[in-house]
Each structure stands twice: as C-alpha cells, then as structure tokens.
Amino acid sequence: MYPHRTLGANLMAEFLLEAKNVSVTFGSGSTKVEAVKNCSLTLRSGEPIGIVGESGSGKSTLARVLAGLQAPTEGEIFFNGEPVYKGSKSYTGEARRQVQMVFQDPYGSLNPQLTGLNAVAEAVRIHDKTNKDESENRALELLRRMGIAELDAIKKPRQLSGGQRQRVSVARALSANPTVLLADEPTSAIDQSAQAQLLNLFRGLLDDGLSIVLVSHDLGVIRYLTQRVYVMKDGVFVESGITEEIFNDPLEDYTKLLLASIPGDLGVAARRKLNKN
C-alpha cells in the first residue's frame, strides 16, 4: 500500500472527520421522516469509532452523509477542517479519494459481470489514472493483502464465498488509498470464521494508520474493534464515549437493553445488572 498522502494545509485540524449538528429529513408533510436528528460526531486520525443501533435508528443514513452520498438537511460535515458539501458537490478534489465506503451486502455492491481483479483494477484506474497492466498489478497486490490469492481474484462474485466477496469490496475501497474507511455493517452478511478474517484485516489497517467508522448492530464486533462508540436510537445519539466504559457501565436504559440482548457471556453480565434494577 502507498504511504498516506500528506493532508496539505489543514494538517493541524483537530479532527479528521467531524459532523456538526447534522439532521436528515426525508419527505414532507405527513410522510416526513426525521432519520437523523441533530447528531454531532468526531473522528481523529487513526482512530476506530463505532455507531451502533437497531435497524431504523438512522445509522446507515448518517454513514451515507459522512461518505458524501447524502447531503444533510441541516448541519455540516467537515473533513480535515474543510466543509464536505459545497453546493451540489461533495468531497471535491483530493478529499474525494480519502473517504471510502464498504457496503453491507457485498453481492449487491459488486458488479456480477466483473471478476474481483477487474473490479478493483477499475477503481485503481479511476483514482490513479494508470494503464491497464499497472492497475492490475496494484489490484492484485491489494487483493493479496486482503487474503485473496490470484486464483480467486479472477473469479466472478458468484463464484466467491460471502467472506471473500466482502474482502474484494474492502480491497476496492482501499484502492483509492483512503484515510477514512466507512464500513456499513460489513460483517452482518458473512459467517463467523469469515467475520474473524475480516476483523483481523481491519485491525491490520488500523495499525497502518487508517481511521475506521464502523456501523453495526453487532455489539460484539463494535466491542472488538472500536475505541469509541456512539449509541443511536430513533435518529438521536443517546450515549457516546469510550467503548470499554460503555460496555462495562452503560448509563442509558437503551444501551443497557442493547447489551443485555447479546447472546452468550457478553450479555449475561449486562442481563444480571438489568434484572437487579
């Protein structure tokens, strides 16, 4: 992987990515839905943070706002101190490549006609403006790093397992050489051993200095990977803080309920606490 590009004039910005009082509203009148309400979030360079909540809580919408795919109705997003949404555009210039997203369903987000190698090479060509051979070499290198051998790289998505597909999407996101990776439920469509592989990869990326925003409803994954977490309910952040502290001593009833619902040992302690009250 390339060394990370220098961030230019705004190297001193305190936060790499920052959301200030963001609200997103869909529809109007009686069908108006406030998906995200007045949410503020910060991400420092090299930091893994999590956004956790049930389906419909607005976490995917917020992730799309952070990725530059959905303009907020109110509030602003700053990347490196610069506003992300300028007029009808988002992430202009050099900033565009630095924030990349991995989607929930790898089968839906990969082109079924393209092999893993072609999909990643295409992204490399777009970002690096290189020729075919060079882009394929770099794509192969990225895929190898994600644990996809050359033999599997020339397979189409339908010939790959769920975990492999997800790793191809991560390789494609990394082809832009980003500083921030937004991952929207990356592990929910794959089984346990594939999940462990993907999480190991994410941990390696963190060691290389990448910042990760992990959106998930799986508290086990959040606990394992993130340092700070935002708990979201009905479009609002109900609690945020250091992941370990929130897991050991949740303040909000909703967080307690979420923790108590985890199957296995993790949930047992939380359940005991919940029953005591």
Partner 1 sequence: MSTPNKPLIQIKDVVIGIPHKRRPTLIIVDKANFDINYGEMVGIVGESGSGKTMICRTMIGTLERRGGKILSGEVIFEGQNLATASDATWKNLRGKSIGYVPQSALAGPNPVLTIEAQLTEALRNTGDTKNIKARSKELLDLVKIRRVDTVMKQYPYQLSGGMRQRVMIACALATSPKLLIADEPTTGLDVTVQSQIMDLLKEIRSTMGTAIVLISHDLALIDEVCDRVVVMHAGATVEVGSVKELEKPRHPYTIALNSSRIDIAKPGSELVTIKGNAPSVGEWNLGCRFAERCSIVQSDCKVGVHPELIGASGTHQSACIHTELLERI
Point out which residues bind partner 1 (CB under 8 A): 54-55, 161-162, 164, 188, 191-197, 199-200, 203, 217-221, 223-225, 243-244, 257-258, 260-267
Q: How far is the CB of 202 from partner 1 (least distance, A)?
A: 10
How far apart are the C-alpha atoms of 241 and 250, rounded to whole Å? Answer: 10
Least distance to partner 1, CB of residue 128, Å: 31
Q: For partner 1, give the closer residue by CB, 54 or 122.
A: 54
Q: Which is nearer to partner 1, 78 or 254 (CB)?
A: 254
Q: Which one, 59 or 125, has the nearer CB to partner 1?
A: 59
**Helix or strand or coil: residue 39?**
strand
Give the 3-state secondary structure of 198-217.
Answer: HHHHHHHHHHCCCEEEEEEC
Query: Would you say the C-alpha torsion 92, 97, 102, 105 has a positive or negative sign?
Result: positive
Number of Cβ within a 10 Å radius of residue 204: 12
Question: Shortest gap between Cβ of 135 and partner 1 (angstroms)?
Answer: 27
Least Cβ distance, residue 103 to partner 1 (angstroms): 15
Query: Considering beta carbons, is residue 37 or 217 the nearer one to partner 1?
Result: 217
How many CB atoms neighbour CB 38 within 10 A?
14
- Distance from C-alpha of 129 to C-alpha of 125, rounded to nearest angstrom: 5
